[in-house]
Amino acid sequence: MNARFLTRLLTLACMAGAALSAVAQGDYPNKPIRTIIPLAAGSAVDNGARVLLQRMGTDLGQSFVLENIPGSAGLIGAERVAKAAPDGYTVGGFNDSVLTMVPNIYKANWDPLTDFAPISLVGTIEWGLVVKPDSPYQTVADFIKDAKANPGKLNYGSGGSGSPQHLAMAIFAQRTGINLTHVPYKGATPAAVATAAGEVDAAFQGLGTVTSLIAAGKLRLLAVSTPQRLPQYPNVPTVSESGLSDFFFNSWLALVAPKGTPAPIIDRLYSSMRRSLDDAETRKQLVGLGITIRGSTPSEFGSALKDQYALYRKVIQDNNIKAD
């Protein structure tokens, strides 16, 4: 078998593989798409993803089957996505904690910057400081005053070390010069329920996680961590208005795929996501969950991911945040 024949054989094999790949991508999707959310059911990302993916399923003609894999700060669920076949039939619905906070604290068997194919930063999840309904704290200033008078006595709940709830309060405490006791729970939703039950004094939470608890009168929203007041809570001040100027905090609802997922499939998922965000009812539901629509391109999301990873790396180091 001469070299010329081998070269031609390899060329034909590559052409055949490319043709089969093109056919598969052109037929995509032809079965349900598994969506892994490495967070507890009822979290802001989970609630937002369910709204978005239901509409995307209608748009693509195939359902998205959601699977919550919480625990280990999201490491297990994220690894399932990173190690999945890059064929477009496994995607991840992540927040920025999984992608930019947790890998800076825990040992991960994947790299957030190289083991995923970005699809989109769908939206930012707006946040707020919540307390139980009969809490003595009527304002953020009340909370800060009591915390300063009783160092270490007040506590707060989070979804675990390195979670967005943990980092938000760590930054808040650093900025205000207060000392609080951190009480980690196994996810944002358990932390929210614990706050409502009075197990902890306060918590920063994504509004998508606590909207129903606020509406039911089981949590009281002291302030939102947005630049301006939110239309859905016009009477709730911002943290900045409450005496801590320029304090902003939010998190992400992002879609990713395993590294190596073909660009045409990424583009198809992105285009479907954009069409879904243009649907008035979908937008209304997402905004109602405290999500600000973004819909970034894959390349824009990739850049944002690198920047956020570096930012939180510094925050975690500055605050000496360690794994539990």
CATH of the domain at 199: 3.40.190.10
The number of domains in the chain is 2
Looking at residue 292, the DSSP 8-state letter turns out to be E
The reply to whether 118 and 207 lie within a common domain is: no
The reply to whether 184 and 132 lie within a common domain is: yes
**Mean pLDDT of all residues in the chain?**
91
Q: Which residue has the higher pLDDT, 40 or 156?
A: 156
| Whole-number Å distance between alpha carbons of 94 and 305 | 12
Per the omega criterion (within 30 degrees of 0), is the bond before 237 cis?
A: no
Taking 60 as the threshold, does the pLDDT of residue 14 lie above it? no
The reply to whether 119 and 136 lie within a common domain is: no
Residue 230 covered by a domain: no
Taking 90 as the threshold, does the pLDDT of residue 10 lie above it? no
Taking 70 as the threshold, does the pLDDT of residue 148 lie above it? yes
Domain of residue 211, residue span: 126-224
The reply to whether 141 and 200 lie within a common domain is: yes
Q: Which residue has the higher pLDDT, 245 or 132?
A: 132
Taking 60 as the threshold, does the pLDDT of residue 7 lie above it? no
Tell me the DSSP string of 243-258. Answer: T-TT---EEEEEEEEE
Residue 16 covered by a domain: no
pLDDT of 239 reads 96
19: left (phi over 0), alpha (psi -120 to 50) or beta: alpha
The reply to whether 175 and 107 lie within a common domain is: no
The reply to whether 156 and 131 lie within a common domain is: yes
Residue 7 covered by a domain: no
14 vs 2, 9, 17, 125, 283, CA distance in Å? 19, 9, 5, 44, 43
Residue 5 covered by a domain: no
User: 167: exposed, middle or buried (C-beta count within 10 Å: 0-12, 13-18, 19+)?
Assistant: buried
The reply to whether 95 and 138 lie within a common domain is: no
183 vs 106, 155, 177, 195, CA distance in Å? 18, 7, 19, 11
205 beta partners: 128
The reply to whether 121 and 260 lie within a common domain is: yes
Of 224, 240, 263, which residue is a domain's last? 224
